[in-house]
Structure 1
Amino acid sequence: MSKRTLGKSAVQITPILMGTWQAGKKMWVGIEDADSIQTIRAAFEAGITTIDTAEVYGDGHSEQIVAEALADVREQVEYATKVFVNHLKYQQVIEACERSLKNLKTDYIDLYQIHWPSGSFNNEIVPIEETMSALNLLKEQGKIRAIGVSNFSRDQLAEASQYGRIDSVQPPYSLFWRQIEKDLTPYCVENQISILAYSPLAQGLLTGKFPRGTKFEQGDNRADNKLFQGENFERAQQALDKLRPIAEKHNASLAQLALAWLIAQPQANAIAGARYPQQAKDNALAAQVQLSPAEIAEIDAIGRIVSDRLDDSPVMWNW
């Protein structure tokens, strides 16, 4: 899989990244460590070398699973992890990074990201200048190679950029969830900032594997996802019916079509999670799906059946 430059940094990433929220187990059901390890390894062997995790995914468990899967090929992969919103004071950032380095069994992190803006989830507000100061020090020390943010608005990204180079932003973004296109995407294009889209398959909705009437087990975060509820869910089914013929034309799955559309968008890359090895291999194949400009436009219009009816809230869940 050909790589792309992360922002203006020296880091090279794959356009499809392996997402490992589920490997942390917390807020997921039925996850086994052995499956997670095999799946992460399968992603690597299929050409996905950029792995996204976070300290809050199972309180470090996801990071440890990533290390278990890839420690022997560390120099061939790119680790992206995140510091959570309760650790944004200067010293807390330094200590959080050290924990992540230990969990990941490495002496450097390729991309270190602020997971949520300060003040999220009723946490204490810390000036972005203080957080960025710690991140800049870590970068100078060689402990991190690039700085990113996650769940930041355009204005929050612009403010953070006043205090240091931001090479990526990680928002929710998929064919069905497109708020960032209004102002965040143009800003990223203008400033050469990579977009690392999380939930690029709308938490599995774009795979087509969740038919009308689907109910999730207690503890599954998708039960609170707005896209799986009421009229949104019905509109999604209508859109999926229209996408199937295009996918079939390319001998691709719905998921591969959705990922191919996303990585064809300006500055956009897709963080795709997977529970099992075959899913990771299938995600990697999306990079080979070549869509014409006309097909990209057609898929775009179909996606709007869902996205145009959503409100402007950037949070995908009713938490």
Structure 2
Amino acid sequence: MQSVEKRSRVARVRLGNSDLSVRPIGLGLMGMSQFYGSADPDASVATIRDAIEWGVDFLDTSDYYGAGSATPGHPVPGFGHNEGLLGRALKGRRERVVLATKFSARPTPEGTSVFDGSPGYVKAACEASLRRLGTDWIDLYYYHRLDPRVPVEDTVGAMAELVAEGKVRALGLSEVDSEVLRRAAAVHPISALQSEYSLWERGIEAEVLPQCRRLGITLVPYSPLGRGMLAGGFRRGAAFGIDDFRSTLPKFQGENFEHNMRLVDALREFCASRQHTPGQVALAWLLAQPHDIVPIPGARRMARVRENSEATSVPLSADDVAYLAGIFDPAQVKGGRYGALNVARTDSES
């Protein structure tokens, strides 16, 4: 197993089946638009710009971020909001980053959204994203969630045409199972798979990760810090507001939350004699896995961006990696990833 000490000496990681390379830890921007309470747009733009100056060069967004369900008294910014933030931040800086965005959630006149993988929508969504981002090309374009009405071959075929036109450099998928990965890769090389993966969420280890390895696909884990849980900042009895997505997640509710906090306590104890935070160790554990992995932790403040990026220098032995995996053995983590509706829409779990 590759140690983090060895991995940290790798200045860049190539995204599989492409000529793109990035630093080992990127930045997820979703929380700058919604899902974890309100955020200040100007402060978010400043954080993105500061992160680029710090050296973060892999930025992840989606046309959907900003358009999720509203809650009473907490309206959402709207479809494309997150891409607009990134477009503002990238002025004069576009050449310095690998930009990843996603499509498939199409807004409806009723104010909701449906998944649309039709070839015509693929191209329309890409054009809209290019306008919001203020760029002529997207480095990594993800199919965000599968449309069950459209064969994945048709969707990826339309995405491949965007590559041929020079509007997209590489293709990715999000939250699909190993068979869908195989079918997609038979149409066009797939460079990245974005799925949830962390110390406390390891459902893709049995089938999806081995398929990524066979097909040369880089894994880009979202929520690599367990939606903040593994950063070690929560305490027992913590409450999440109705505008915070975690209030709907089984892992963060009631007895599940209290039980999972005991696992995080064990992570804190592991870090107590080290000069690294729980979040840094959790990211270092990902980097130590025997796969090509580029996590994209979210952050709103520059201090957190710096802390996360410094996880590349955390030394973990093979014994450390195994010990941490044991603390968060999947049988010990209580609660599923999502409620029933969202699990049904997540192909890697269905």
Give the TM-score, by structure 2 length.
0.84
Aligned to 1:226: 250
Q: Indicate conservation of the 8 Å contact 2:259/2:334, yes or no.
A: no
Q: Indicate conservation of the 8 Å contact 2:236/2:258, yes or no.
A: yes
2:193 is the counterpart of 1:184? no
Aligned to 2:127: 98
Deviation of 1:39 after TM superposition, in Å, equals: 1.7
SS in 2 for 1:195: strand
| Residue deviations 1:12-53 (CA, integer Å, cap 9, x gap) | 12221100112223x342211012112212222222110000
Deviation of 1:318 after TM superposition, in Å, equals: 5.3
Q: Indicate conservation of the 8 Å contact 1:23/1:61, yes or no.
A: no
2:306 is the counterpart of 1:281? yes
Aligned to 2:344: none
2:62 is the counterpart of 1:47? no
2:92 is the counterpart of 1:67? no
Aligned to 2:196: 172
Cα separation, 2, equivalents of 1:28 and 1:111: 25
Deviation of 1:249 after TM superposition, in Å, equals: 3.4
Read off the aligned partner of 1:273 and give its amino acid letter. G
SS in 2 for 1:51: strand
Q: Indicate conservation of the 8 Å contact 2:117/2:150, yes or no.
A: yes
Aligned to 2:182: 158
Task: Return the match for 2:222 from 173, 198, 202.
Answer: 198
My pick for the range that moved more, 234-243 or 276-285, is 234-243
Aligned to 1:114: 143
| Residue deviations 1:61-111 (CA, integer Å, cap 9, x gap) | 111111211221111100000012433111110010011111111111110
Cα separation, 2, equivalents of 1:53 and 1:76: 16
Cα separation, 2, equivalents of 1:210 and 1:302: 18
SS in 1 for 2:276: coil
Q: Indicate conservation of the 8 Å contact 1:168/1:196, yes or no.
A: yes
How many residues are matched?
Answer: 310
Task: Return the match for 2:318 from 283, 293, 314.
Answer: 293
Aligned to 1:36: 44
2:27 is the counterpart of 1:7? no
**Against the structure 1 CA distance between its residues 245 and 200, is the aligned structure 2 distance closer, same or farther, given a 3 Å change threshold?**
same
RMSD: 1.8
**Against the structure 1 CA distance between its residues 289 and 303, is the aligned structure 2 distance closer, same or farther, given a 3 Å change threshold?**
same
Q: Indicate conservation of the 8 Å contact 2:256/2:335, yes or no.
A: no
My pick for the range that moved more, 234-243 or 250-259, is 234-243
Q: How does 1:245-260 map to 2 (within 5 A)?
A: 245-260=269-284
Cα separation, 2, equivalents of 1:316 and 1:189: 26
Q: Indicate conservation of the 8 Å contact 1:226/1:318, yes or no.
A: no
Q: Indicate conservation of the 8 Å contact 1:196/1:268, yes or no.
A: yes
Aligned to 1:24: 33
Read off the aligned partner of 2:217 and give its amino acid letter. I
Read off the aligned partner of 1:45 and give its amino acid letter. E
**Against the structure 1 CA distance between its residues 173 and 317, is the aligned structure 2 distance closer, same or farther, given a 3 Å change threshold?**
farther
Q: Relative to total residues, which structure has the larger helix share, 1 or 2?
A: 1
Q: Indicate conservation of the 8 Å contact 1:90/1:130, yes or no.
A: yes
| Residue deviations 1:247-283 (CA, integer Å, cap 9, x gap) | 2333111111111111221222211101212111111
Read off the aligned partner of 2:144 and give its amino acid letter. H
Read off the aligned partner of 1:33 and give its amino acid letter. P
Aligned to 2:3: none
Give the TM-score, by structure 1 length.
0.92
Q: Indicate conservation of the 8 Å contact 1:108/1:142, yes or no.
A: yes
Read off the aligned partner of 1:34 and give its amino acid letter. D
Cα separation, 2, equivalents of 1:113 and 1:73: 22
Read off the aligned partner of 1:267 and give its amino acid letter. D
Read off the aligned partner of 2:293 and give its amino acid letter. A
Task: Return the match for 2:328 from 273, 295, 303.
Answer: 303
**Against the structure 1 CA distance between its residues 118 and 311, is the aligned structure 2 distance closer, same or farther, given a 3 Å change threshold?**
farther
| Residue deviations 1:101-127 (CA, integer Å, cap 9, x gap) | 1111111111000001113xxxxx112
Deviation of 1:193 after TM superposition, in Å, equals: 0.6
Identity %: 35
Read off the aligned partner of 2:197 and give its amino acid letter. Y
Deviation of 1:312 after TM superposition, in Å, equals: 10
Q: Indicate conservation of the 8 Å contact 2:185/2:215, yes or no.
A: no
Gaps of 5+ in 2: 1-9, 67-78, 106-114, 342-350
SS in 2 for 1:170: strand
Aligned to 2:73: none
My pick for the range that moved more, 230-239 or 27-36, is 230-239
Q: How does 1:262-273 map to 2 (within 5 A)?
A: 262-265=286-289, 266-273=291-298
Cα separation, 2, equivalents of 1:73 and 1:169: 26
